[in-house]
Structure 1
Amino acid sequence: MKTRVPLFLKSHGFSLLLILSLIAGVGLGVVYKKDAVLFKPLGDIFLNLLFTVIVPLVFFSISSAVASMTDLRRLGRILSVMFLVFVLTGFIASGVMLLGVILYPPAFGVAIPLAAAGEIRHLRAVDQIVGAFTVSDFPLLLSKNNMLALILFSILTGLATSAVGERGKPFAAFLVSANEVMMKLVSFIMYYAPVGLCAYFAYLVGTFGPELLGSYGRAMALYYPLAVAYYLLAFSLYAFLAGGVSCVGRFWRNIIPPSVTALATGSSMAAIPSNLQAADRIGVPRDISEVVIPIGATLHMEGSCLAAVLKIAFLFGIFRIPFSGIEPIATALGIALLTGVVVSGIPGGGTIGELLILSLYGFPPEAFALVTMIGTLVDAPATMLNAVGDNVSSMLVARVLGGRGWMENQG
């Protein structure tokens, strides 16, 4: 006699297992403290497996999606709507944190002795942009450190395959088949996720737990609840705008695995595989999700927008400078958008964003250590927002291009 699995567990069982693994990881981190580093190798195995599959997954997903498009104007529409969504959501995220730091100044009553910053490299913007979008040799594409170059190469490969016509169909079929194989490989890797995520989260809590309660406690007391509120409220609103109440339900039934993966690993790229799976189950057309989500993992960082405003307000408080007036606030919004939507795609983008904060406001180099520590402490929730924001963005793009009934059209 077969045992029937309850519908709730069938739909949410794996998501609940991942949440329980994070809770277990927190417990292990609290108990073992610094010794929790012993669990890190188990987490590294999971992270290494994900990072290994990212390059072929991104290449095959984007190139197969582009190669399968019969109307290349659709690709142009996808990219243009995608960028508009990225900018708008980044602006909203920045505005939310701006309101938060005005109501609850993150550095109020905090005294931190400034440690000397390490050597800061002088970065040339032109060289950084060239290095972000191109590489000097093909093997360099096979690295997660050159994602924008890989994305551009994937798009061009898809376009070339489509342009060849009939002679390109066998290669297009290969790209589609390889993409299916990569997605199945991802599902195999995810079987190890509960162990890997538990181990990695134990390491993070054990290593960085003390700093959360120290001098940066007030800043974290602002960022963490605001990040959770943004995750629950803003993303629910975006899902509602994308497809109504039913879309919100589909979104929350499928978004937990990529959320937990991003939260525990601190990597938007590591969440790409589960994010693509979630978008598939939600019903986002593949030619949209397989373009928006990989590009978003590099160019769309709502959590980083929140963090950038927090860093700026924190430095203003430490140096006893009033964070008010049109110019400082407008500059903060501009830097946050640059950090979360443009600079994030450039190698070393986090460092560049922090250097922008220091240079545009005239803070001394010693302040670099402060913003770097804040970036480290908010990395996990920020990455979760970054990754989930990519999924929601693909839904919004589908809504704009597919109309009100885009989910029904996907069956």
Structure 2
Amino acid sequence: MDRKLTWYILAGMVLGVIVGYAVHLGIPASDPWFEYLSKSFKLLSDIFLNLIKLLVAPLVLSTIVVGIAHMGDSSALGRIGVRAISWFIAASFISIALGLLMVNLFQPGVGAPIPDAAEAAKMVGEVKKLDAWEFTFSIFPKNALEALATNNILQILVFSIFAGVALSAIGERGAVLVRGADALAEMMLQITGYVMRFAPFAVFGAIANVVAKSGLAILSTYLELLVEFYASLVLLWIILLTAGWIFLRQRIWQLIRYIREPLLIAFSTASSEAALPKMFEQLDRFGIPRRISGFMLPLGYSFNLDGSMMYMSFATIFIAQAYGLDLSIATQVLILLTLMVSSKGIAAVPRASLVVITGTLAQFGLPVEGVAIILAIDQFLDMGRTATNVVGNAVATSVITKWEGMLQVPEPAEMELPHAPAHTSHHGARGLELAEDMVTDERGKPV
């Protein structure tokens, strides 16, 4: 379905350009028909945006509750768990900060021909500037239901953390609620799949509306965004691989060779999970025990999405730039911290980042409709960030294994091994069960 959806989105983009340009050339802006068609195009993207907003609260709530509950009830959160989480937090911070740095350096959204930019900026007004005390106070909800109803992502996060820790503390008595949250997460991901089927129509409407009002100038903005985002990803790859080289030395080059195939799978499908079975197999060959990769990869797929986090910071500031909104350094730092937390627990499925971006834009009073503009080329951006997620998790797993003294001699690349299980839960419960059986000596080597 993902491959078909990709082609449908591309078809919607091409058709949107053709229809929008035909309207731009053939119908004067003063003609009532122009306004009628413009509103019809915009309706398609607006419907999609409302459906995306529908996903934000329950998806963030359920995934974070489940992730914390499963991490907290396992003895696997010993030395390896602490080291893994520490690595993930550091990599997340670097990815988001680098995204903010590069988007401010390149400024791809400045001067973008967004037809409703002036109107949206006028409606937003001055971007709210919170001081540290006001921001801290605004994080804590006085009513959990109100936070969910208003899609206040920071307050939802605080409630989710409390709920996850509490469910972990009460143990078996809270198991039914953990299972319920797990089922809610799966349901919301299924609904996400349904919503994404409407994406081709939303892409068509968004592109047709922009091109009808602004002509083909928007295409040069898209090209600039693509080139500059991929240039930023290359820089992130260099940082990740350099960090890996510090621990692995010359074996980092072997790792790159071993993960080429899962990397290509992730890039072509824009889904990290599609590459997961092959990733297990190749890391086995590289010399990583399955009990380590079985813990690290599922955990990393929820908590270590380096490419997605760079994209979220890049895209959020791009939208602000496109709508002519000047964000202070303090506001951008607050956005960074929000993305740091809100991206955790979001499953590695195509375009899940759009949900986090939507929630973050709403949280800071930025124009949510900007998501519809980015959606037109999100597939191309998604391919690059998904491949980066795979690289980041491969490096993290290898480094932690080496750190623990468990990295083994690699097996020949051509040797056939049994395929890994095709399905692994997004919150890493199976990996935690595998890690619970791990017995090590004082140096971390398996006994």
- SS for the counterpart of 1:136 is coil
1:366 is matched with: none
Paired with 1:56 and 1:390, the residues of 2 have a C-alpha distance of 23
User: What residue in structure 2 maps to residue 199 of structure 1?
Assistant: 201
* Percent identical residues: 13
Query: Deviation digits for residues 181-211 of structure 1, max 9, x if unmatched?
Result: 3454356436536631211211221222356
Q: CA deviation at 1:16?
A: 1.7
1:64 to 66, 69, 78: 69
Q: Distance in 2 between matches of 1:123 and 1:170?
A: 43
Once the two structures are superposed, the pairs formed by residues 106-117 of structure 1 within 5 Å of their partners are 117=122
Contact 1:60 1:154 in 2 (8 A): yes
Aligned with 1:142: secondary structure? helix
Q: Which amino acid aligns with 2:159?
A: F
- The reply on whether 1:20 has 2:25 as its aligned counterpart is no
Q: Deviations over 1:276-296 (max 9, x none)?
A: x55865565334433456x99
Of 261, 282, 304, the residue aligned with 2:313 is 304
Deviation (angstroms), 1:22: 0.7
Contact 2:144 2:159 in 1 (8 A): no
Larger radius of gyration: 2
Shift of 1:139: 1.4
Amino acid at match of 1:62: G
Distance 2:393 2:240 in 1: 10
Residue equivalent to 2:137: 130
Equivalent position amino acid for 2:229 in 1: A
In 2 relative to 1, CA 280–229 (structure 1 residues): closer, same or farther, beyond 3 Å?
same
Measure, in 2, the Cα distance between the counterparts of 1:313 and 1:185. Answer: 34
- The verdict on how the C-alpha distance between 1:216 and 1:38 changes in structure 2, with shifts beyond 3 A counting, is closer
* Alignment partners' CA distance in 1, 2:49 and 2:360: 23
1:44 is displaced (CA, Å) by 5.8
**Partner of residue 341, structure 1:** 336
Q: What is the match of residue 301 of structure 2?
A: 289
By percentage of residues, which structure has more helix? 1
Deviation at 1:107, TM superposition (A): 6.5
Give the letter for the 1:171 counterpart.
G
Change (3 A) 1:238 1:106: same
| Cα distance in 2 between the residues matched to 1:179 and 1:391 | 27
Distance change in 2, residues 1:48/1:153 (3 Å): closer
Deviations 1:365-405 (A, max 9, x none): xxxx9xx9999855765895697466765555444434496
Q: 1:208 aligns with which of 206, 210, 227?
A: 210
Does the residue aligned with 2:63 lie in a helix, a strand or coil? helix
Give 2:247's aligned residue. Answer: none
Give the whole-Å Cα distance in 2 for the aligned partners of 1:150 and 1:205. 33
- Select the residue among 1, 16, 19 that pairs with 1:29: 16
How far 1:253 sits from its partner (Å)? 2.0
Could you tell me the TM-score, scaled by structure 2's length? 0.54
Change (3 A) 1:206 1:310: closer
User: Secondary structure, in 3 states, of the residue corresponding to 1:145?
Assistant: coil
- Superposition map of 1:61-210 within 5 A: 61-72=66-77, 76-94=82-100, 96-97=102-103, 100=106, 117=122, 119-120=125-126, 122-125=128-131, 126-132=133-139, 134-143=140-149, 145-164=151-170, 168-172=171-175, 175=178, 177-178=179-180, 180-182=182-184, 184-185=186-187, 188-189=190-191, 192=194, 195-210=197-212
Distance across 2 between alignment mates of 1:189 and 1:205? 24
**Paired letter, 1:69:** S
Q: Matches of 1:375 and 1:41 in 2, distance apart? A: 10
Seen in structure 2, the aligned counterparts of structure 1 residues 172 and 194 have a Cα distance that, compared at 3 Å, is closer
Distance in structure 1 (CA, Å) of the matches to 2:319 and 2:145:
38
Q: Supply the RMSD in Å over aligned alpha carbons.
A: 5.4
> Partner of 2:259: helix, strand, or coil?
helix
Amino acid at match of 1:129: T
* Secondary structure in 2 matching 1:69: coil
Identify if the C-alpha distance between structure 1 residues 343 and 224 changes in structure 2 by more than 3 Å, giving closer, same or farther.
Answer: same
Q: How many residues align?
A: 338
Retained in 1: the 8 A contact 2:15–2:204?
A: yes
Q: Aligned partner of 1:198: which letter? A: P
CA contact (8 A) 2:297 2:397 kept: yes
CA contact (8 A) 1:238 1:392 kept: no
Change (3 A) 1:24 1:222: closer
Equivalent residues in 2 for 1:261-410, closer than 5 Å: 277=273, 285-292=297-304, 300-305=309-314, 308=317, 338=333, 341-342=336-337, 344=339, 350=361, 377=373, 384=381, 388=386, 397-403=396-402
| Structure 1 residue ranges without an equivalent (≥5) | 1-13, 260-273, 316-330, 356-368
Q: Is contact 1:303-1:382 (8 Å) kept?
A: no
Other structure's SS at 2:142 match: coil
Compute the displacement of 1:353 (Å).
Answer: 8.1
Mark the CA change 1:72 to 1:170 in structure 2 (over 3 Å): closer, same or farther.
same
Shift in CA distance, 254/296, structure 1 to aligned 2, threshold 3 Å: closer
Please say if residues 153 and 363 of structure 2, whose CA atoms lie closer than 8 Å, have aligned partners that are also in contact: no
Matched to 2:257, the amino acid is V
C-alpha deviations, 1:223-242, integer Å up to 9, x for none? Answer: 232224556x4677688769
Structure 1 pair 16–239 and aligned structure 2 pair: CA distance change class (3 A): farther
